[in-house]
Structure formats: C-alpha cells, structure tokens
Chains A and B, each alone.
Chain A
Amino acid sequence: MSARTGVLTEGRELRIVGFLCNWCSYGGADTAGVARFEQPTDLRIIRVPCSGRIDPLFIMRALVSGADGVLVSGCHPRDCHYAEGNYYARRRLELLKQFLPITGIDPQRFEYTWVSASEGARWQDVVTKFTNRIHDLGPAPRMQGGSGYDELCLKQIEEGVKQGAACPCHKERAL
C-alpha cells in the first residue's frame, strides 16, 4: 500500500461513503482537488447542505447496505454557515460513535471531523488517514440472509449438530 495515498497497491477499492457539508468540507475537498493534492479514490462523496442535516441513520443505512466506512465532515465549531447546525450534529454523531460497538460494527469504521473550505491540505490528510484506516480494517462484515432459513443459518446449525449439540439453537434465557 502506498503510505501517502492509501490506495492499495493491488488497486482494490473499498466502499467508503463521505457526507460533506456544502459550505466548508465540500469546498475543502474542492480546494484539495484544485491544488492537485494526491488523494485516495475510494471515497464516494455525498454533498449535504449542512452537517446538521446528517441523520445518524444515514450512516447506519450506509453501513447496513454495504459501506466499509463512513466519514462525515462539516464546518469547524463556531464556523457553521447556519450558525449552529454542526453543534447539533456533533451531539448526534458522538452518540452514534458510542453506540456502534453494541451492534458489533467497529466504531473505527465511522468518523466525523471538521474541515473548512480553505483547508485543502487538511482534507487530503483526513481522507488519506481515514482511507488507510478502513483498508487496515478490511471489508466490513455484512448482515446476510433472509428471515428464517437461509444457507447461512443452516450452516451454523449444521456446525452445532456436528459438535454434538442436539439442538444448538436453544440458548437459555439470560434474562
């Protein structure tokens, strides 16, 4: 892997979704582009009016639908175009970050940060660091299968039966 750009040497890309606010971070990414800073190409950017527009469910939906990482970036605190959108965003995103571990999704797969429109170099740094991190983590596990009986479910039961449990699916009521 090229340490500077985060692009895997074999060229394989992972799916990383970036939600960027229109006024700062999208501008920052643009600045980085205009300045021809080299950046990894895995990130697919979705422009939103403000980081305050980002529902934590956008991030969950992306992760459940197969994203390997999600990056959110908005204006620095005190710099929000709408004065306080990013303050609300910060609270919501922080809760999501703390919540993720219970679902078994690695909280490292989600990050939020602040990049202003003039910070092209900072944008390059953020996107490179985050992409590297996701590449280190590898592809994310995905919830699979239909309700009830799918191949995966049957395989798990089969394993259990092989290990000698007559009914491996019966787990005691913990509480």
Chain B
Amino acid sequence: MEAKFISHDDTTGWLDALSEQHVVLAPMWDNTVVTFRPHVKGRTPVLDRMPVLPPKEGVFPQNEMLLKYKYDKDPENLDRTSVQVKETLPQDTAVVVGARPCGTRGMTVFDRVYNCEKIRDPYYVGRRENTLFVTVACTRIESTCFCHDVGSHPADAEASDVLLVPVAGGYVAEPVTERGNALLDSPFFAPAGERSAEAAEVKEKNRAKLPAAHDYTGCGEKLMDRFNDLAFWEEQSAKCISCGACTYLCPTCYCFNITDESVGLTGKRLRTWDNCMSFQFTLEGSGHNPRPTKAHRLRNRVNHKFAYYPDLHGGAIACCGCGRCIKSCPVSVDIRAIVRAAQTYTPKPAPEGGDER
C-alpha cells in the first residue's frame, strides 16, 4: 500500500465517482453549520473543519427503522387481528469522508459494545462492516480539543481506512486498510512521492501544537471513590441544564431507545439516539427513578466514559477527546474539569467549632 496525492480540485470528482457505488457521507454546509450529508455530484465537501454533528451518524443513525409492521383485522371477527412484520436490515455500502481522527476513533467505542463475543447487533454490524472511513488529519487545534489526553493525536489513523493529510494544493492519502487502499485506485490520484515527507511534517507540526497531555491514569478509581459523594456531584453538575447536546453530539455515546411509532394499523419500530442526561432515560414503569437529579445523571455520564467503560473494556476510555460536548454545551460544562476535580479531590477541612460527632 502506498501513499497517494489528490489535489483539492479533484476531491469532488473522486467523491462523485465513489458515490456511484456507495452512499458517500461528507461534511457540507447546512445553512450556517457543517454536518454530514450524502454527497451529491458536483458538490465540494467541507474538509477544513470539524463538523458539528459526529460521524457516528454514518453507522448508527439518529433514526433507524428496525422493522415495519401492519395489523390486519379479521373482517369476520374484529377481535382477531394478525400482524405482519418486515425486518429492515441495512443494505447499502457507505463511505464516510471528512471526519476528524477523534470522531472516527469514536467508532472503536461502539465496536467493543455492539460487535463483540457476547453481542452482535445485526443492524450495527450490518452498517459497520459496509462502511469505510476516510479521515482528514486535524490541523486545527481548538481550546476544547483533548484527543491527546485520551491517548490519540491529530493524525491518528485508528479505525480509519484512509487518512488524508492536508498538504499544499491537496491531500496526501495514506491507506490504512486494504479496503481503504482500494478506494484510492482511481485516476484522480497520483503517487505521493516527495509529498509524503511534507505530510509527515504536517502531522508532526500539529501534534506539537497541543499542550502537554493530561494524565488520566487511575481516574476511574478516583471517580469511583466519589461515587457516593453526592455533594461532589451536585457541585460539579450545578450549572448543567440537563439537555442532550453533549450526548447527541458525542462520537462515542451509543445509547439508544426503541419505540413503536404507529399510525392507525401500520407502524414502524424505531431505534433512536437516547440521552442519559434526560430524566426519562432511567424512569421506570413504576414511576421510580434511580437517577432522579441531574447530579445523578452527570455522574453517570462522566463515570461511564472514564470509569465503568474502561473497567469493562481493558482500560479503554470511552471518550475520543473531540471536545464537542464542551464547545456545544450551552453553559460550557467542561468534562475535563470534572474528571480532574475527582482526580485532585481533597476533603475540605471541617469548619472550626463545627459539630464533630
């Protein structure tokens, strides 16, 4: 597998060609924000920034129909109904172009849960195995970025099939997998040649832009130490407004809800993104809610990413460090600060003359 070069002008033509065979999801302007949308021939993808919405949409769409159903009433006996069910498994092959390394790497968090020995989710796996990721190495380090804190870097090719590195005039395309290599078998590409050296330089330069990495080693235990300290979580969650911006924009949040949406005698069973910051997420049929306040819910979100998940999956942190949850939070809740607060927690000294019983 060798690195190749594609000019800026040719990227659109390449995506046009790819879209003949696959659904191509690429970032585009949707009014004033950039989101992933299917590529339409002739449209230039927006590859110079991180899209607002995460690339998980390509494999784990916000609305996914699991099956369709239809009730038939027996005309002889209206009490008797039969139901027809039609499964709707994903069929298309897809290429997700233009995600950042952080977003693409988020898919590994999904894989450990939906495609493992215990569970093989047919809908997820159906899409995952037929979806390739063409990732763009990151050149824009924002104040909310912390991919390097969670063990990645701006040119990380983990979970990608091709890595595009921006160089003068275009991109150096580095194949990562065999299937990714096949995507580069196209007349729009030329051998990278000396540009490979430039690409290596770009990668190095952007890596150097990041501040020293924060060490999250052992943060899981520290967070678990605070598990029963609700005062700690009330303080950390005080400004949280309990909306779902952080979870819906997160490339690693994989929770879903299943509902039947009926109209008359027909309907569909839907799988939709769910949001652990919502009161309804854990609301039980009895009316009891084990996570009644936002403190309980934020504790779950942070701990899930930095304590429970690593505990179950060999220490892997379920956060890709893209910073969307910080950047898009209406009140700027900073997940990094919460984990750090747990890591550096020291009990407050008892006030003088206080009750010492």
Contact = CB atoms under 8 A, between A and B. Distances in A.
Instruction: Answer yes or no: A and B touching, Cβ < 8 Å.
Output: yes
A161 B41 contact: yes
A129 B41 CA distance: 49
Interface string A155-175: 001100110001111111100
B17 to A, nearest CB: 16
Contacts of B36: 148
Given A147-B63, A148-B62, A169 B31 contact: yes
Listed residue (B32, B35, B43) with the most chain A CB atoms within 10 angstroms of its CB: B43
B61 to A, nearest CB: 8
Contact of A158 (B31, B40, B57): B40
A153 B37 CA distance: 9
Given A167-B29, A169-B30, A147 B62 contact: yes
A166 B44 contact: yes
Main secondary structure on A side of the interface with B = loop
A168 B40 CA distance: 11
B32 A173 contact: yes
Interface string A55-78: 000000000000000000000000
Given A167-B29, A170-B29, A146 B63 contact: yes
B111 to A, nearest CB: 23
B351 interface: no
Interface residues of A, number: 18
A154 B19 CA distance: 13
Nearest to B25: A149
Contacts of A169: 28-31, 37
Nearest to A155: B40
Nearest to A153: B37
A171 B34 CA distance: 11
B43 A171 contact: no
B44 to A, nearest CB: 5
Contacts of B30: 169
Nearest to B40: A157
A167 B37 contact: no
A166 B46 CA distance: 11
Contacts of B38: 149, 154
B40 A167 contact: no
Contacts of B42: 161-162, 166
Interface in A37-59: none
B127 to A, nearest CB: 14
A44 to B, nearest CB: 14
A32 B38 CA distance: 55
B245 to A, nearest CB: 15
Contacts of A154: 38, 40
B32 A161 contact: no
A148 B35 contact: yes
Given A147-B63, A148-B62, A171 B40 contact: no
B348 to A, nearest CB: 46
A148 B57 contact: yes
A149 B37 contact: yes
A167 B35 contact: no
Contact of A171 (B31, B37, B44, B62): B31
Interface string B53-64: 000010001110
Interface of B: 25, 28-32, 35-38, 40-44, 46, 57, 61-63
Given A148-B57, A148-B62, A171-B29, 12 more contacts: A147-B62, A148-B35, A149-B25, A149-B37, A157-B40, A161-B42, A162-B42, A166-B43, A167-B44, A167-B46, A171-B31, A172-B32
22 contacts: A146-B63, A147-B62, A147-B63, A148-B35, A148-B36, A149-B37, A149-B38, A157-B40, A161-B41, A166-B42, A166-B44, A167-B29, A167-B44, A168-B43, A169-B30, A170-B29, A170-B32, A171-B29, A171-B31, A171-B32, A172-B32, A173-B32
Interface of A: 146-149, 153-154, 157-158, 161-162, 166-173
